[in-house]
Amino acid sequence: MTPTAADESATRGRVAGRVALITGAASGLGKADALRLADEGARVVLTDVNEQAGRDVADACGGEFVLQDVADVTTWVPLIEHVVDAYGGLDILVNNAGIAPIANIETTTTDEWRRVMGVHLDGTFFGCRAAIPAMASSGGGSIINMSSIAARVGLSEHLTYSAAKGAIAAMTRSIAVHCRQQKNLVRCNALQPGSISTPMVHAAVETVTGLNMMDQPDPEAFRIAMGIGEPIDVANMVLFLASDESKHINGAEIVIDNGDSVEYSVSSS
Ligand SMILES: NC(=O)c1ccc[n+]([C@@H]2O[C@H](COP(=O)([O-])OP(=O)(O)OC[C@H]3O[C@@H](n4cnc5c(N)ncnc54)[C@H](O)[C@@H]3O)[C@@H](O)[C@H]2O)c1
């Protein structure tokens, strides 16, 4: 039988043969992660609530798509069992799915608070809890939780989002120490990107500035002028954390924002 491109890449690369599960991978950062990990030899299972776009990404990276709402606790154990049965184990989990409604402390409704917490915080908790035993049985693994720069700075119009991302960073530290104490060779780290060019950020830019990034005469120049990164900037860090190159990194929060959050500017007003 002629080997497929996925078969061939699984024998080489920085995560060759590893089994990766990525949530919210139909779009943006999750999509870039899926393509990057597959390109470096991982066998990728990706989930999302957006079925058609998710299937398209799976086709593009030779992976498998599973329809999943990460906030639904009942989806997680069957999903992990399926991955272990079909692929022989689980090595990499990227808890990436997310939503970013715009609302501040005075305009956030109780339903919106619970919806955002459900996707980000519950989804990440359910994913880590279900995956760790499977990873431990596979001889260890790497969990990458998507936090945000919103966990470190004050974004008035991202109240619930910021709260969830801060809690994900704190939960990541607790999980990392637990796994270290268990000596199960599972590592857990959090990424904190600044603004990266994805549909989520395009929507936020349009809300704040009234400008559609993709309709600009030169979208690439506009992106650079706005200080917005590219999905590959995050996917490269996901690849590093997923690989053994990062074997001594556990419980870290890694900022990916080209210095945006540490620049000090003196106001003229
Ligand atoms: N883009 C950025 O600048 C940025 C910065 C920091 C953190 N993040 C985080 O990175 C992650 C990905 O964001 P993105 O920018 O790629 O956004 P995106 O909107 O392009 O992609 C998010 C994906 O998550 C999926 N999703 C939403 N709710 C889901 C659910 N309940 N179950 C499963 N899938 C669900 C969506 O369908 C979509 O495919 C999010 O957690 C986001 O908060 C993004």
Find the residues whose C-beta lies inside 6 A of ligand 1: 23-24, 26-30, 48-50, 68-71, 96-100, 119, 146, 148, 193, 195-196, 198-201
Flag whether pLDDT at 265 surpasses 90.
Answer: no
Write out pLDDT tens, residues 194-247: 999 999 999 999 998 999 999 999 999 999 999 999 999 999 999 999 999 999
- Considering the entire predicted model, what is its pTM? 0.96
Q: Which helix (H) or strand (E) holds 117?
A: helix 110-117
User: For residue 60, how far is its CA from the centre of ligand 1 (angstroms)?
Assistant: 19
Distances (CA, A) of 129 to 9, 65, 120, 175: 30, 21, 14, 9
Give residue 12's pLDDT band: very low, low, confident or very high (50, 70, 90). confident
Q: Whose CA is nearest to atom 7 of ligand 1?
A: 148
CB–CB of 238/144 below 8 Å?
Answer: yes
CATH dotted code for 14-192+229-248: 3.40.50.720
pLDDT of residue 269: 54
CB–CB of 48/54 below 8 Å?
Answer: yes
Q: Domain boundaries in the chain? A: 14-192+229-248, 195-228
Flag whether pLDDT at 8 surpasses 70.
Answer: no
pLDDT of residue 4: 60
For a ligand 1 pocket test, name from 31, 99, 145, 233 the mutation site with the most ligand atoms within 8 angstroms of its C-beta.
99
User: The tokens of 104 are what?
Assistant: 């501040």
From CA 79, how far away is CA 24, in angstroms rounded? 14
pLDDT of residue 80: 98
| Cβ neighbours of 94 (radius 10 Å) | 29
Write out pLDDT tens, residues 85-123: 999 999 999 999 999 999 999 999 999 999 999 999 999
Flag whether pLDDT at 6 surpasses 90.
Answer: no
User: For residue 29, how far is its CA from the centre of ligand 1 (angstroms)?
Assistant: 7
CA angle 148/181/143 to nearest 5° reads 35
